[in-house]
A and B are shown apart, each in its own frame.
Chain A
Amino acid sequence: MSEAPAAAIVTVEDLRIRFPTQDRRETVKAVDGISFSVLPGETFGIIGESGSGKSTLGRAVVCLLKPSAGRILHGGTDPYSLSARELRLRRRAFQIIFQDPNAALNPRMSVLDSVREPLDIVGEGSRAARDRIALELIERVGLRPEFAARYPHELSGGQKQRINIARVLTVRPRLIVCDEVVAALDVSIRADILNLFADLQREFGLTYLFITHDLGVVSHVSSRIAVMYLGRFMELGPAEDLADRPLHPYTQALLSAEPVPLPSAMRTGKRVILQGEIPSPTNPPSGCRFRTRCPFAQAVCASDEPAWREAAPGRFVACHFAGDVTGHPINATQTEEATA
């Protein structure tokens, strides 16, 4: 890709992450050759089905998983080239928030203790000063100070997620990986939390890597969106363009599968219902890995892996037949022409 990695806050270069299967006979290729850069201050959205490897990618970005091949650069530096001590210091700027707000909080620790814990580990300032920072952040995420003394079981899902946000903010991160952070929340609460993320981004100059399967959410918050399938990116582009004029058949199918709360007469566009399920990442299909579910698949899709190419300025896609430089989407006639 032609982005300048020097300015990027995170650069991922041909990243591969593999896990052995339980019987150790096969390898799960969870992330299988991904390159992109996240620019300071942007919200980089990643969508895809379960099993596409998006959470694995998120964990790798914050050094919770080590790349099997390829590199991750934090502001131009490879964190794995640092000493353990230096890595510990540097990675504070790269935090992650998880989907399940319950599982992320210790039920035996009060809210204040949980929020202060990262500061205790960092070990800066007096206990009183750390308490003060934690309290400030508890209020900043929209909770009254009396919540500090409460325990997770006394809080709702939305409140717990606010606590998780306050906790990562204590160490002043530059980038936060948000892994399905609103998936477990009700619609009205979801809106509140998304608004809070937007406020904090402005106030603290944060960069987000926003991982979700919810297209409504990802296209609302993101500046750019990457669509992931079986460990690879299928498409990457500015949020508006990608949502309005998807180039890759998989993106089109994802967008059309999203149920729209509109009266039947106003629902436009035919739904592309994908047949079958995401194949196993131990043995992805040859050529284009989406071809087994693609309504437009041709012989070439099985034999040749489509190149990751820039179809229009800033719009990257991996599909033999996706729209050309004019960016018009794929259609049936196009694929017929292509085979003719």
Chain B
Amino acid sequence: MRSTGNVRLDEWTRTNDGLPNDAPPVTDDGAVLLDVRGLGIAFTGGAARVQATHDVSFAVRPGERLGIVGESGCGKTITGLALLGLLPAATSHVVGEAMFEGQNLVGLPLSRMRHVRGRKISMIFQEPMSALDPVFTIGQQIGETIRAHFGASRRQARARAIEALASVGIPSPARVHDSYPHQLSGGMRQRAMIAIALVCEPRLLIADEPTTALDVTIQAQIIDLLLDLSAKSGTALLFITHDLGVIAETCTRMLTMYAGEVVEDAPVDSALVQPRHPYTSGLLRSLPRLSARGAVLPSIAGRVPTPSDMPSGCRFAERCVHRRAECAAAQTIVQFGEHRVRCGRHDALVLPGALTDREAAA
């Protein structure tokens, strides 16, 4: 390691460049870091217009870990991409607002978005191989972020990049710094991605299925790493996954999306034990651990409706075993305590969660 050695980023930014170290303290409890309201995403192709998500609202507090669950096609990933302005500008239309540190991320001009991406909000993706550029070394890709946001010299960037690789548990970080992505294993690539995402100590990390492509043993390592880094730096997490076990072990809140809408938002333990939306309950009940070995697994019949064929009433009604006539009306999201749910029958229903009968009785 060179002369700039073990300088922490916060000291380093203060001493080495003119940029203000403007991160507010992480202990501002009660304050909201990201406030998403009425976010709607539509895509156009030719004459067709498809409303992919509708009225998505949620908040992330500093240091909070929010998990978004739902089947493929429910709008989880595009919601994450929209927050960073990463949807194709020519064909996507985003309405609503996403307030982050006093500015609305929706419609934020590129010149200002560049100061947010990677510095304030970072994103990691499912497949690290396609997110990393194969023709640059890992070190060049981390260094790029540091140099873009802090105007550091190459030497400083190298030192900081090696430090970042070490902090995500990569053995021999100096060697990995000079390696190309194809020379690393899947788990190491995902660690390198996390190092790139966290090198500027962002306030929010959006993680889109970051462990789905990994083995369960490596997944456990990455989850531990994310929790550890989040606790150390106070970085909030927006964790997009379809794996309810990962959500349970990682997140403090769970947001269930269905067909482009938020249908439930609750503290994770409450959502797991006593879900209030039939869709959340259905997802939890279809897990093999709740059924006797070899028994028929409960499943949710049918499929997510396509955006071009969206029912006007409750979007889940067609697949819902608790459907009544009133479900043909559009459903609004209702809040009670820390729980929000988009189901007109939530008061009438007692739905099973992720516990076996024996666990629930205990």
Contacts and interface: CB of A to CB of B under 8 A. Distances in A.
A259 B268 contact: no
A188 B355 contact: no
B273 interface: yes
Contacts of A213: 215-216
A262 B355 contact: yes
A259 B219 contact: yes
B293 interface: yes
A1 B245 CA distance: 37
Interface stretch (A8-16, A269-277, A309-317): A269-277
Contact of B242 (A156, A186, A277): A186
Contacts of B298: 191
B244 interface: yes
Interface residues on A, range: 35 or more
B299 A258 contact: no
A198 B248 CA distance: 29
B87 interface: no
A240 to B, nearest CB: 6
Contacts of A187: 71, 242, 244, 283, 286-287
B112 interface: no
B299 A188 contact: yes
B216 A215 contact: yes
A110 B215 CA distance: 35
Interface string A257-269: 1111111111100
Contact of B245 (A188, A239, A259, A278): A259
Contacts of A240: 293
B15 interface: no
A219 B288 CA distance: 9
Given A49-B215, A187-B283, A273 B221 contact: yes
CB-CB nearest 4 A-B residue pairs: A259-B245, A263-B269, A220-B288, A191-B299
Nearest to B250: A259
Interface string B266-294: 00110011000000001110111101011
Given A50-B215, A216-B289, A254-B217, A259 B246 contact: yes
Interface string B291-313: 10110111110010000000000
A213 B244 CA distance: 17
A217 interface: yes
Contacts of A216: 287-289
A221 B289 CA distance: 11
Interface of B: 71-72, 185-188, 215-221, 223-224, 242-249, 268-269, 272-273, 282-284, 286-289, 291, 293-294, 296-300, 303, 354-355, 359
23 contacts: A49-B215, A49-B216, A156-B303, A187-B71, A187-B287, A190-B286, A191-B286, A192-B299, A220-B289, A220-B291, A254-B216, A254-B217, A257-B216, A259-B245, A261-B245, A261-B248, A262-B272, A262-B359, A266-B359, A273-B221, A273-B224, A277-B188, A278-B215
A220 B296 CA distance: 10
Contacts of B291: 220
Contact of B248 (A221, A259, A274): A259
A190 B268 CA distance: 23
A194 B71 contact: no
A194 B188 CA distance: 32
B338 to A, nearest CB: 14
A191 B289 CA distance: 11
Contacts of A264: 248, 269
Given A220-B293, A261-B245, A264-B269, A188 B215 contact: no
Contact of A277 (B218, B273, B296): B218
A200 interface: no
A240 B293 CA distance: 8
A331 interface: no
A257 B246 CA distance: 11
A73 interface: no
A112 to B, nearest CB: 22
A195 interface: yes
Given A195-B296, A263-B268, A49 B217 contact: yes
Contacts of B246: 259
B215 to A, nearest CB: 4
Q: Most B CB atoms within 10 A — which of A186, A257, A258, A264?
A: A186
A188 B286 contact: yes
A221 B268 contact: no
A257 B223 CA distance: 10
A253 interface: yes
A198 B288 CA distance: 13
Interface in A248-301: 253-254, 257-267, 271, 273-274, 277-278
A271 B220 contact: yes
Given A195-B296, A259-B248, A267-B248, 8 more contacts: A156-B303, A194-B297, A257-B217, A257-B219, A258-B245, A259-B246, A271-B220, A273-B217
